[in-house]
Structure formats: structure tokens, C-alpha cells
Amino acid sequence: MGKPTLTVGLIGYQFMGKAHSNAYRQVGRYFDLPVDVRMKTICGRTETGVRKAAETFGWEGFETDWRRVVDDPEIDIIDVSTPGDSHCDIVCAAAEAGKSVWCEKPIGNTIAEAAKMRDAVAKSGKPSVVFHNYRFAPAVSLAKKWIDEGRLGRIFHFRAAYLQDWIADPQFPRVWRLEKARTGSGALGDIGSHIIDLGRHLVGEIQSVVGQLETFVTERPLPEGGGSGPVDVDDAAAFIARFASGALGTFEATRFAVGRKNANRFEINGEKGSLVFDLERMNELEYYSELDPPGTRGFRTVLATDSSHPFAGRYWPVGHIIGYEHTFINLVAEALVARDRGERFRPDIEDGYLNQRVLDAVERSAASKAWVNL
């Protein structure tokens, strides 16, 4: 008697479609899973593009109409990796069709959409997933383990910055991520959602925020040519948060940190010590402990590949480091195991909604120039 099979339909085939395809294809080769993953259908609007993606990424077939994928009775999981303006329609249709929804972040373009998706998934009774992949970098999972073990004690600060620079050139075209109607918000939702999720995951729920949004370049060439168009989303966001625990959060998300390509870094300061994670050194966790003998204290670098560390041994022996793509493989593995055990996987659509509440509060705070309570 072989293992049961979970059949996946993936909607979207660009960057996240590529990362998710790799995870579905690889996960069974590195983890002992209770199920086999069948990569049945990948979907995209342009036949030439999605046909090539199916061949390249290893999908059995392809579709150009997502509704046909949602209606396929053989499909158990609908993975939503499209631009934000189609998430709500696809997620709600998939939930209503009784599928398990696995959605990219942020789940919605607005809090209203996020609430609708949360409700549709809750009504379906099916487990859900949101692709906040950085929780599953071994060093971040190790930070979570140590915090939960009380190694830092009371947390005073969560300080996070997610810095990119891919649109610092004003001639970069107004792609879909720069159009509010397509994407909801700019750096705030796209990369700010990641550090919000990490803050909630590692420190706890956020009680109130005050924020500032900035759009440095307000007009850009249209990608299809023929002139230029307005940019109506933020290029950069900065906000302060008060966690329900009383910890203080400082968050920055920008696409204008010239020289920073995908620099996602956080530092957590507690009464007994501090932790620092930097995606550009993603296998390492910087640790300072007040418990060390006086005179010997200092930040040390822990390489999160030890046999006692999360995900250890899944890929290579101690000291052999892993990469960005492995965070998605780890996430998929954890989600499949949780599903099999009937345990709640996190982050799920409820986390996606709670993250969206913070995004919405920051936008309202920036507009009103005042603190907003969640």
C-alpha cells in the first residue's frame, strides 16, 4: 500500500511559481513525508509562457483558465501565486470548491479582501498555507525555538528592515507591483508583510502602530511603452509598533535602499540576551547572552546547521549551508506533515489576515498622521 497522493494546481508561473514548483518537486527527495506530491497543473494567462513553465518546472500539464484548475476534481491543493488583484477571486473559488488553499503573501490587496478570504477558507474547513517562507530558514526557526525556551527572557525590542533597490532607477517601468489596483500597496505589503509576519511569529501580536509611507518616484514609463503613468503605491514604509507584550517594534521596508538587493534583517533584544538574523547570511544566527561569564560576553555566530538545529540533516551534513529555495521546501514539508497530523500549520490564512490588519493599520496611520490601534 503506497502513500496517499496530494495533487497540486499552481496558479501563476513567474518568480513565486518557480520557487513553489521547485519546492513541490524537491520536498519528497529530502523529507520523509506521509504523502506523495503530484504536480498536475500549472496555470497562467499566456499559453506560450505557461507551456514552457510546465515543461521546465516539471508539471504534468498546463491551463490558461484558473477556473478549470479550481474545478478539477483530482486537485487537492490550489496554490495562488499570482499578482494580488486576483488572490481573492481564486482563493474564495478554491475554498468554495473544497480545495486546500496555499496563498502567496500578502493574501489580499485590502483588509476587506483578506477578511473575505479568511471567512471562505474557514467555511471550507480545509487547512491553509501562506507563503511567509522566511519563518522556515533554519536560523529563524532556531531563533523561534530559543525565544520560546525563554533564552532571551522578556523581549524589549523587535527591530526589522527589509531593504531592496530594484526600482531606485526612475526609468524602471511601472510594473504591476507599482499599481495599487494590481498590488494593493508597494514595499509595505510586498516585503513589509514578511517582517510583520516575523515580528508576530517571534514576539507576538501587534497592538498599535504609527507609520509613514513615501513614494519617491511618482511617474514611471509604462512597461508596454507609449508614455508614462502615475505610481500610486509606496516606495518605502517605516513604522513603529507596540506589541501586545509591551515590546517595541521598529519596521522599515523599502525598494530604494540603493545597494541592498534583498536584505531582510531583524534584531531582537531581550532581558537575557539578543538575536540577529540577516538573510544575506541566512545560515547564521548572531547570539549575545547575558548568561555568559562576565568578560567573555559578546555576539557569537551560530551556524544553524548543527544536528540539533531545525531541519538539520534534511539536506547535507553539519556545516554545509543551504539557500533561499530551501526555505520554501522546508515550508512545504512542514505544511504537509501538519496536514497529515491534523495539526494547524502556521502561517495560515488567519495569519495572513492578521498580517493584513497590520498593513491596513499602517496605511491608515500614514494617512491620518496618528497612532492606530488594531
User: Among candidates 65, 81, 11, 14, which has minimal Cα distance to 40?
Assistant: 11
Count, residues in the chain: 374
User: Nearer Cβ to ligand SOE, position 176 or 316?
Assistant: 176
Phi-psi region of 227 (alpha: psi -120 to 50; beta: other; left: phi over 0): left
Work out whether 262 is an interface residue with ligand SOE (CB under 6 A). Answer: yes
| Closest CB to ligand SOE: residue number | 190
Cα 90 from Cα 70, distance rounded (Å): 8
Work out whether 14 is an interface residue with ligand SOE (CB under 6 A). Answer: no
Cα 237 from Cα 106, distance rounded (Å): 15
User: Nearer Cβ to ligand SOE, position 126 or 194?
Assistant: 194
From the CB of 13, what's the least distance to ligand SOE, in Å? 14
User: Nearer Cβ to ligand SOE, position 179 or 190?
Assistant: 190
Cα 253 from Cα 256, distance rounded (Å): 9
From the CB of 322, what's the least distance to ligand SOE, in Å? 16
User: Nearer Cβ to ligand SOE, position 7 or 254?
Assistant: 254
From the CB of 295, what's the least distance to ligand SOE, in Å? 41
Work out whether 228 is an interface residue with ligand SOE (CB under 6 A). Answer: no
From the CB of 235, what's the least distance to ligand SOE, in Å? 12
Work out whether 368 is an interface residue with ligand SOE (CB under 6 A). Answer: no
Cα 16 from Cα 37, distance rounded (Å): 18
User: What number of chain residues touch ligand SOE (CB under 6 A)?
Assistant: 5
From the CB of 20, what's the least distance to ligand SOE, in Å? 12
Work out whether 176 is an interface residue with ligand SOE (CB under 6 A). Answer: no
Cα 283 from Cα 330, distance rounded (Å): 14
Cα 61 from Cα 367, distance rounded (Å): 46
- What lies within 8 Å, CB to CB, of 342 at 6+ separation is none
Per-position DSSP letters for 273-332, written without gaps between them? EEEEEEGGGTTEEEEEETTSPTTS---EEEETTSTTSTTTTSSSSTT----HHHHHHHHH
From the CB of 319, what's the least distance to ligand SOE, in Å? 26
From the CB of 21, what's the least distance to ligand SOE, in Å? 15
Work out whether 15 is an interface residue with ligand SOE (CB under 6 A). Answer: yes
Work out whether 191 is an interface residue with ligand SOE (CB under 6 A). Answer: yes
Interface residues toward ligand SOE, by CB under 6 A:
15, 164, 190-191, 262
